[in-house]
Amino acid sequence: MSPARPNPYRMSERTIKVLTGVLITILVVAPIAGFIYGATLGSDYQPWQNAIALGLIAGGIGIPILAGAVLGGEAIMRGGGLVGFLFAAGLIGGPTGQVFGIVWLAVAGYVALALGVIGFFVIGFRKKVPIWIGPRGAKLQSWNDPSDPNTTNT
């Protein structure tokens, strides 16, 4: 976008700082609370109490991953949050299905993860985000930039 017309999909610096603080707090506090709660359960605990501990741990890790992926996708382009959601859902769902033996969840999760990775490459190419695969000199781009020494102009 031109300097005269700012990107309406960017958040203010204050909003970014607040969201970052909230996500870091969730990432630190929720899993610790889940571990402490789970460790204090006696031998006569109810299954729902165990589910609360697991939910705090998993949610404390999963929510920041999901929010980061969605906001990262939106930072690249409008609607990119869907790509971020696919990536995060796959990153969480695939291994979860595999651990708990839920085959459909594992397959759907890994398919969503693959689509999310491919989607990030596609939106990155569309928005001309520099992408490297391998060493920094092995730059993969969707366009040729004559001023960039890492680009081959053939």
* Residue 147 resides in a domain: no
* Residue 145 resides in a domain: no
* Residue 118 resides in a domain: yes
* Residue 89 resides in a domain: yes
Question: 132: part of which helix (H) or strand (E)?
Answer: strand 131-132
* Residue 116 resides in a domain: yes
* Residue 107 resides in a domain: yes
Q: Residue 27 is encoded by which pair of tokens?
A: 């990432």
Q: What is the arithmetic mean of pLDDT over 64-74? A: 92
Helices (H), the chain: 13-40, 47-76, 80-100, 103-126
* Residue 151 resides in a domain: no
Per the structure, the complete domain to which residue 122 belongs is given by 13-140
Structural domains counted in the chain? 1
**Three-state secondary-structure class, residue 49:** helix
For 95-152, write each residue's pLDDT tens digit.
Answer: 999 999 999 999 999 999 999 999 999 999 998 888 777 776 555 555 555 666 555 5
**Three-state secondary-structure class, residue 139:** strand
* Residue 152 resides in a domain: no
For 8-53, write each residue's pLDDT tens digit.
Answer: 446 777 887 898 899 999 999 999 999 999 889 888 888 888 889 9
